[in-house]
Amino acid sequence: MTEKPEIVQLGADVLRRTARPVDDFSDAKFPQLLAVLRDAMLESNGVGIAAPQLGASWRIIIVASRPTVRYPNAPEMPPIVMVNPSFQIVDDSLHKDWEGCLSVPGIRALVPRFRAIQVNYRDEKGREQDLVLEDFPARVFQHEYDHLEGLVYLDRLESNRDIISELEFFKRIAA
């Protein structure tokens, strides 16, 4: 049985570093890292994950919106591995909604994000891809992309008053 990968927590240097681009898709360690990322995200009930959250400073994220214990109202979409992603804003209106982070447990915050974005990335085989993401999946992408830039969602807050405990968050969404 494999050991559960540790998700690094706020304060770890790797979360504050700009991640390196992937340039070798044929490296034998690459599919292993993707598998570990997927497993860690699924085991933690995440809707996305970034390689720096496992201590790997590479520009790799997975966006996997789906209903979970942590996000019961999330829309369903297949998990998408995005390597060396970038994005352009499609709808520059900002919408505030609740976010949490596997690397910042116990709290949630209202974070402003762009409602719609065009994402460009390479898939697991290194092929160029693009798609438009809107609403919650766009939010998940922007959250994970921030990890590649050395940012966490708390860096995006307009006010510290937008932070609540996770217990309070669950009370609010149950009401």
pLDDT digits (tens, 9 = 90+) for 88-143: 999 999 999 999 999 999 999 999 999 999 999 999 999 999 999 999 999 999 99
Q: Is 147 annotated as a binding residue?
A: yes
Average pLDDT, the chain: 95
**5 part of a folded domain:** no
Residue at 53 is within a domain: yes
Q: What domain range includes position 155?
A: 13-174
Predicted local confidence at residue 1, as pLDDT: 37
Cα 133 to Cα 144: distance, rounded to the nearest angstrom: 13
Q: Would you say residue 152 has pLDDT above 70? A: yes
Tally of domains within the chain: 1
Q: Is residue 6 part of a domain?
A: no
Domain membership of residue 165 (yes or no) is yes
Average pLDDT over residues 146-167: 97
- Asked if residue 8 is part of any domain, the answer here is no
Q: What CATH number is given to the structural domain containing 76?
A: 3.90.45.10
What is the set of active-site residues?
Answer: 144
Q: What is the pTM of this model?
A: 0.95
Would you say residue 153 lies in a domain? yes
Q: What SS3 string covers 123-165?
A: CCCCCEEEEEEEHHHHHHHHHHHHHHCCCCHHHHCCCHHHEEE
